C-alpha cells in the first residue's frame, strides 16, 4: 500500500519532472519523471574513478504493469536501458538506467 496518494505524487512531479517515453517491447508509454545522474567517486585505486549512476524517479502508478529490466527510456535523442527497478513502497519508483544507442526490444 502506497503511503502517498497519486495526487501527492502528481504534485511532486508536476514541477521538476520531464516528459519521457517508456518503451516496453514495441509499446510506448508517455511518462513523467525526474532524470538524475549524480557524480559518484569510486575509490578502488588512487586516484578515484568518476562514475555516474543515471536514475529516473517516477510515480509507481505511471509504470506499465509488466515493467522489467531491459525496457527502454527515451528522452529526446537519448536512449537508456532499465537496469534495475527499485520501488520504495511509498508510490515512487527509481529506475537505474544505462545509456545506450540500442532500441531493440528487451529479450
3-state secondary structure 18-57: EEEEEEECCEEEEEEEEEECCEEEECCCCCCEEEECCEEE
| pLDDT exceeds 90 at position 13 | no
| pLDDT exceeds 60 at position 99 | yes
Average pLDDT for 30-56: 75
| pLDDT exceeds 80 at position 106 | no
Of residues 10 and 76, more confidence is placed in: 76
What does the pLDDT read at residue 17? Answer: 87
| pLDDT exceeds 50 at position 70 | yes
Taking the CB of residue 24, how many other CB atoms lie within 10 A of it?
19
**pLDDT tens-digit series, residues 23-38:** 998 899 999 999 987 6
Amino acid at each position: 500500500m502506497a503511503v502517498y496518494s497519486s495526487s501527492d505524487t502528481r504534485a511532486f512531479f508536476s514541477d521538476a519532472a520531464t516528459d519521457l517515453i517508456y518503451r516496453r517491447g514495441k509499446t510506448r508509454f508517455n511518462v513523467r519523471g525526474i532524470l538524475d545522474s549524480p557524480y559518484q567517486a569510486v575509490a578502488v585505486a588512487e586516484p578515484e574513478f568518476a562514475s555516474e549512476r543515471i536514475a529516473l524517479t517516477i510515480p509507481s502508478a505511471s509504470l506499465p504493469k509488466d515493467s522489467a529490466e531491459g525496457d527502454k527510456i527515451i528522452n529526446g535523442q537519448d536512449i537508456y536501458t532499465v537496469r534495475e527497478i527499485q520501488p520504495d513502497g511509498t508510490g515512487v519508483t527509481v529506475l537505474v538506467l544505462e545509456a545506450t544507442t540500442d532500441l531493440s526490444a528487451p529479450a
